[in-house]
Amino acid sequence: MVAHLTMILLIYFLAAVAVHAIHQRHLSRPETEGFEQILLIPSNQEHRIEGIVRALCRELVYRGKSFTMTVVAERKESETVRIIEKLMLRQGMELSYLSAVPSDMERALQTEKHGVRLIDLRESKL
């Protein structure tokens, strides 16, 4: 019985060492860029925007990146934009607004990723 318990403890110990090694390896990977700009086009997504913004912020913070968020919306007074603004204020970050994606930035988004991520939540028109 003692041999079985010893074997179980050894397996748990080896599993803990493996998890620790994998975690350290993940943390030691260098990021290519430390800053990212997010362009978010929300378009009436009140029911799911909070989860999207929280997941995005969590992912960027976990990866160690600083970021700014720009909301591309025609109306600043929409409920979706208010929710995003409230979440960013809780994070201690300012939110900037655009009424449309600038054409030069749209071309840059299509050719290369200069630390800019476009998240378009508009429903596709088929």
Give this prediction's pTM.
0.58
Q: Tens digits of per-residue pLDDT, 19-64?
A: 998 888 766 665 555 778 888 888 777 888 888 888 888 888 777 7
Q: Does domain 35-120 have CATH number 3.90.550?
A: no
Q: Longest C-alpha distance within the chain, in Å?
A: 72
Q: In sequence order, what are the residues at sequence separation of 6 or more whose Cβ sits closer than 8 angstroms to the Cβ of residue 38? A: 56, 67, 68, 69, 70, 116, 117, 119
Lookup result for tokens 């912020």: 57
* Per-residue pLDDT, 33: 55
Q: In sequence order, what are the residues at sequence separation of 6 or more whose Cβ sits closer than 8 angstroms to the Cβ of residue 32? A: none
* Per-residue pLDDT, 124: 55
When mean pLDDT is compared across 39-43, 102-106, 121-125, the lowest value belongs to: 102-106
Q: In sequence order, what are the residues at sequence separation of 6 or more whose Cβ sits closer than 8 angstroms to the Cβ of residue 83? A: 46, 49, 50, 53
